Amino acid sequence: MTRHILPEDRIHPAIREKISQSHRDIVEEVQAAIAEHDVVVVGMSQNPHPRRARKALQAKGIDFKYLEYGSYLSTWRRRTALKMWTGWPTFPMVFVKGVLIGGASDLEKLLESGELQKLLAGGPEAA
């Protein structure tokens, strides 16, 4: 996978620190959660897709940690830091064993196929 990220040498030295510190706390909070929990759902209020992901996990009896950051009208700058960090453009962001697996529809596909359960069990087909 090739992901386009502006190389550091193409960023003026005077702003590199500002970029590296921009909303770093929210990224570190999510990193800590994915290090501590097998399944983490990152979402926002008023968005039906994080709720859909949580309901799908609950229906299968899978424990998860939910982190919610604002709504459509608030905290969008902080959420942008998560989008830049992951490269994932929407919410929810679902992590399984520290791996971003996508959003609600991606989670549902993995649940339907049984792959999510294999990932959690650490079986031979686990990523």
Q: Which of 121, 119, 123 is nearest to 107 (CA)?
A: 119
| pTM of this structure | 0.92
What is the chain's mean pLDDT, rounded? 94
Per the structure, the complete domain to which residue 25 belongs is given by 12-121
Residue 61 domain-assigned (yes or no): yes
pLDDT digits (tens, 9 = 90+) for 60-117: 999 999 999 999 999 999 999 999 999 999 999 999 999 999 999 999 999 999 999 9
Residue 16 domain-assigned (yes or no): yes
CATH number of the structural domain spanning residue 113 = 3.40.30.10
Give the SS3 label for residue 99.
strand
Say how many domains are in the chain.
1
Residue 111 domain-assigned (yes or no): yes
User: Is the per-residue pLDDT at 38 higher than 60?
Assistant: yes
User: Is the per-residue pLDDT at 127 higher than 60?
Assistant: no
Confidence of residue 125 (pLDDT cuts 50, 70, 90): very low
